[in-house]
């Protein structure tokens, strides 16, 4: 029977990355992909200002 | 037809008459208002990061705003949901992420894969001078880790292909699977991109 190697684990925990971004106030709180696109989740923790005029 | 194009190419051009011309006018006016309070998104963390949802995050710079009533009406329009459902073959398509992206000259987005919960991503311009979207459809079904390794040093892969970003004419694409990017904006004008992601809530 051949030995099956386990899959390689990611070197970075994405949760740490997201936490760091939140701390810097740079990105919304959703996980991956294009973090700039506003997410309808988490609206309670990230409020965009609406135009007044 | 949308279904065939989706399966074969990972794209789904929305019929041009699916969205009312009057709504586009309202959205354009809304974008002007929202730009004043848009938020800078400048992720400077170098390299690609494979996320647990299968997406890939990368450096980018632009300004964003989720819009107001007009963009919300576009995201919730039945015709767009129907196009999303027809292309993906899924039933209850709901917009979950959407907004205006304001690109100033030089703004960019490195190669990435969209949020893993997005079954289809729609994009179009609100202004006429956006460059085509770069993408690598041949990597559509390659595992995330392999994509990050293969593209680690190529923010804008030279062997990439592209599809046009048309003004006020949405195109759907398989953004969570197909790596895609925006090269730095070369125009002297600022440009506005709309992005709307749908998920099937019944899945």
CB-hemisphere CA count at 13 Å for B43?
28
A45 touches chain B (CB under 8 A): no
> Taking CB atoms and an 8 Å limit, are B42 and A26 in contact across chains?
yes
Domain B2-200: what homologous superfamily? q2cbj1_9rhob like domain (2.60.120.620)
Q: Which carries the bigger pLDDT value, residue B88 or residue B44?
A: B88
- B158-185 burial, b if ≥16 CB within 10 A, otherwise e? eebeebebbbbbbbbbbbbbbbbbbbeb
A33/B175 Cβ within 8 A: yes
Test B109 with A34 for CB contact under 8 angstroms: yes
Does the beta-carbon distance from A32 to B95 stay under 8 Å?
no
Q: Which of B64, B126, B58 lies closest to B99, judged by CA?
A: B64
Average pLDDT (B71-80) is 96
Interface probe, candidates A22, A36, A46, A50, chain B, greatest B C-beta count within 10 A? A36
**Mean pLDDT, residues B37-55 taken together:** 84
Looking at beta carbons, which residues of chain A come within 8 Å of B37?
Answer: 48-51
What is the DSSP pairing of strand B39-43 with strand B60-65?
A: antiparallel
Check: CB of residue B75 under 8 Å from CB of residue A20.
no
What residues contact B156, with CB distance under 8 A and at least 6 apart? B110, B111, B134, B181, B183
Q: Across chain B, what does the average pLDDT equal?
A: 94
Q: Which residues of A touch B113 (CB under 8 A)?
A: 32-33
Round to whole Å and give the CA distance between A33 and B175. Answer: 9
What's the ipTM? 0.73
- Cα–Cα distance measured from residue B77 to residue B95, given in angstroms and rounded to the nearest whole number: 10
Question: What is the share, in percent, of chain B residues with pLDDT greater than 90?
Answer: 84
The whole-model pTM stands at: 0.87
Q: How confident is the model at residue B33 (pLDDT cuts 50, 70, 90)?
A: very high
Contacts of A21 in chain B (CB under 8 A): 43
- Which residue of B62, B68, B114 is in closest CB contact with A33? B114
Convert the pLDDT of each residue in A3-29 to its tens digit: 877 766 655 665 666 667 666 655 554
Q: How far apart are CA B108 and CA B59, in angstroms?
A: 8
CB-nearest to A38 from B97, B112, B175 is: B97
A:B CB pairs within 8 Å: 104
Strands (E), B91-190: 93-103, 108-112, 120-125, 133-135, 161-163, 171-173, 180-182
Q: Given the structure tokens 């990355």, which residue do they identify?
A: A17
DSSP string computed for B101-121: EEEPTT-EEEEEB--TT-SEE
């Amino acid at each position: 029977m051949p030995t099956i190697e386990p899959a390689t684990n990611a070197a970075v925990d994405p949760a740490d990355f997201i936490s760091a971004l939140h701390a810097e106030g740079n990105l919304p709180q959703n996980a991956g992909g294009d973090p700039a696109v506003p997410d309808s989740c988490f609206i309670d923790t990230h409020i965009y200002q609406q135009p007044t005029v | 037809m949308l279904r065939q194009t989706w399966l074969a190419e990972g794209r789904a051009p929305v019929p041009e008459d699916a969205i009312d011309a009057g709504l586009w006018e309202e959205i354009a006016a809304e974008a002007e208002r929202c730009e004043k309070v848009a938020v800078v998104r400048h992720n400077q963390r170098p390299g690609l990061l494979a996320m647990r949802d299968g997406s890939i995050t990368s450096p980018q710079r632009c300004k964003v705003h989720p819009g107001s009533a007009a963009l919300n009406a576009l995201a919730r329009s039945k015709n767009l949901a129907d196009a999303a459902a027809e292309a993906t073959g899924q039933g209850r398509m709901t917009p979950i992420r959407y907004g205006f992206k304001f690109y100033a000259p030089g703004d960019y987005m490195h190669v990435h894969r969209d949020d893993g919960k997005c079954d289809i991503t729609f994009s179009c311009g609100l202004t006429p001078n956006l460059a085509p979207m770069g993408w690598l459809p041949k990597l559509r079904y390659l595992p995330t880790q392999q994509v990050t390794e293969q593209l680690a040093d190529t923010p804008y892969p030279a062997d990439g292909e592209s599809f046009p970003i048309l003004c006020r004419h949405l195109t759907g694409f398989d953004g969570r699977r197909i790596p895609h990017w925006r090269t730095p904006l070369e125009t002297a004008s600022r440009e506005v991109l709309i992005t709307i992601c749908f998920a099937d809530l019944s899945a």
